[in-house]
Amino acid sequence: MPKLISIIIPAYNVEEYIAEAIASVQKQTYPYWELLVVNDGSTDATEAKIKQAATSDSRVRLINQVNGGSSRARNTGIAEASGDYIAFLDGDDLWKPTFLEEMLAAKEKNAVSIIYCGYAHLYRCGLQRGFRHSYMSGNVLLASIKGKCPIHIGCTLVDKDLYDQHDLWFTEGCLIGQDREFILKLVSIAQVASLPKELMLYRIRPGSAIRAKWQWQKHIHAIYGAQRARTAILQRLAGQDGYEEVAAAFAQRLASQWYKFLWRMIKKGYHAEALALMSDSKCKEELNALDQNLLSNKERFKANIVLDKNLRFWRLLSKIPVI
């Protein structure tokens, strides 16, 4: 009997794109799927567009909820999913027609619980720009912590049992970095296989997260997400081989995230706020773990400026447009 794939799309005010995203699912060459589109309290015509698709295709299901963010919407979808596998797609992104078929074939061939592929950026003019992906397989936890194995949530196909057995959910209320936190937790519990093809299109649009104005109060959530991932993963690995190596990798990752984050705060003129964060014992502890021998000369220069806390230099630096 063919395996059913549950596809979850969180949708908030994407009336311009949601019909095309749903259509990219309907065009899949693998037909055994259910599509759960979670309307996250949209105030535009998003709900109407989803209803229109659901009326003509019984595999498409509209779920309405009060606005709570993409993490809550995805969690709603996970709770409602009845398939053997779960895949995610954002309401403004697209899959190529063979995404499900090729991902499922590669997953079964490699006998793994998690398969991922690559993606390309899709611009408003129709231009697609691809990347060099590492496409690592096996135990990719260390590589993922170090940023050497980037996996996009919209490029994954995962056993539903994995979510159920390990109580995996997205962190609700996390504003930035919730996908990375989730992926780190995911790859820490199972072997991974890669499919070296760009089968997902990540749309670059005005108002999207990649284009949004930088706000430190929002972007600090990426650090919080990494901290939560570290806590959960180290608790799971306690007493096992490799624990120390994973702990050291997390220490370096968080130290690097902190100094890069603080550098950006300094450049944006948030000097008092940066000093306040650096006075926190947890931030101090994590910054102290930074191994500058692993940094390039340019990055070492930035790190030292952050750590020196020279307000006069910070003020000068915030007036220099490019460094």
Q: Domains along the chain?
A: 5-203 (3.90.550.10), 239-317 (no CATH)
pLDDT for residue 128 is more than 90: no
Mean pLDDT of 122-149: 89
Place of tokens 């619980």: 113
Average pLDDT, stretch 131-140? 90
Cβ atoms within 10 Å, residue 13:
19
Alpha-carbon span 76 to 36, nearest angstrom? 9
Tokens 């944006």 belong to 268
Average pLDDT, the chain: 94
Q: What is the pLDDT of residue 124?
A: 83
pLDDT > 70? residue 9 = yes
Indicate whether 218 pLDDT > 70.
yes
Q: What percent of the chain has pLDDT over 90?
A: 90
Quote the DSSP letter at residue 113: S
Higher pLDDT, 145 or 125: 145
Nearest to 180 by CA among 294, 257, 96: 257
- Which range has the worst mean pLDDT, 13-27, 57-71, 160-174, 208-222? 208-222
Alpha-carbon distance of 77 to 11, in angstroms, equals 11
Confidence of residue 247 (pLDDT cuts 50, 70, 90): very high
Residues 242, 240: Cα–Cα separation, whole Å:
6
- In the predicted structure, residue 193 carries a pLDDT above the cut 50: yes
State the pLDDT at residue 322: 63
Q: What is the pTM of this model?
A: 0.94
Q: CA 244, 245, 246, 248 torsion: positive or negative?
A: positive
pLDDT bucket at 211, cuts 50 / 70 / 90 = very low
Mean pLDDT on 11-25: 98
Question: How much of the chain is in helix, strand and coil states, percent to nearest 5?
Answer: 45, 15, 35
Tell me how crowded residue 197 is: count the other CB atoms within 10 A of its CB.
Answer: 18
Q: Phi and psi of 233, rounded to 5°?
A: -70, -40
**How many CB atoms are closer than 10 A to CB 304?**
13
- Answer with the residue of higher pLDDT: 170 or 128: 170
- Locate 124 and state its tokens: 């408003």
| pLDDT at residue 207 in the model | 54
132 pLDDT higher than 80: no
Cβ atoms < 10 Å from Cβ of 176: 17
Closest CA to 164 of 59, 86, 64, 74: 86
pLDDT value of position 205: 74
Average pLDDT over residues 7-29: 98
- The answer to whether 250 and 185 are in contact (CB under 8 A) is no
Report the percentage of the chain scoring pLDDT > 70: 97
Quote the tokens at residue 50: 């989803």
Per residue in 23-79, pLDDT (tens digit) is 999 999 999 999 999 999 999 999 999 999 999 999 999 999 999 999 999 999 999
- pLDDT number for residue 320: 84
Q: CA 126, CA 16: separation in Å to the nearest integer? A: 15
Average pLDDT for residues 120-125, to the nearest whole number? 87
> Tokens 């990540």 belong to which residue?
202
